[in-house]
Amino acid sequence: MEVRLADCAGFCFGVKRAVDTVYEQLKNGKTIYTYGPIVHNEEVVRELAEKGVRVLESKEELKSLKAGENIPTVIIRAHGVAKEIYDIMEANGLECIDATCPFVQKIQRIAAQAEKEGAVLLVAGDKTHPEVQGIVGHTRGEVFVFADLAELKAWKGPSDPQKPLFAVAQTTFQVTKW
């Protein structure tokens, strides 16, 4: 039997970039942490753990890291994180390497712009997904996250109907739903 691998098989470029970033940093012999699993792939996360990469699962764990002689390196996962996480790392003097997918970073910038303009941010996606939580964490303004048309229709609207609306979607949100 002949097995052929599809041209599009494997990781998307943002995930590949994040995983490659971790492997590149491992070559430097530093203590490496990722904030959350670097990607949604248990095999990759397990392999990295075997190589010494530790996964931080909470702000409390991150806050417990302090800069010293061997400054820990924290790599931001492909899904991105809230702005608060960057602030904690900076306050603690940690080295931060941002492996957030560039497409996700673009959405995070839009979320920050929504705040600057006093707009309501509408996010099509899964509110429990790390990417969506990171996007929401880039604005302190009004946000509404919806998973489907029914949730959007059930929304009562912005607190001020005069506010502009910005709409974004989780990068893996189904195009047909969007």
Query: Which residue numbers are catalytic?
Result: 131
* C-alpha dist (Å) from residue 74 to 6, 7, 62, 133, 159: 34, 32, 9, 19, 38
Closest CA to 34 of 60, 62, 63, 2: 62
How many helices (H) and strands (E) in the chain?
7, 7
Q: For residues 168 and 50, what is the distance between their CA atoms, to the nearest angstrom?
A: 37
Residues 159, 165, 171, 175, CA torsion sign: positive
User: Is 87 exposed, middle or buried (CB count within 10 Å of its CB: 0-12, 13-18, 19+)?
Assistant: exposed
Q: For residues 17 and 100, what is the distance between their CA atoms, to the nearest angstrom?
A: 9
Q: For residues 44 and 38, what is the distance between their CA atoms, to the nearest angstrom?
A: 9
Q: For residues 86 and 89, what is the distance between their CA atoms, to the nearest angstrom?
A: 5
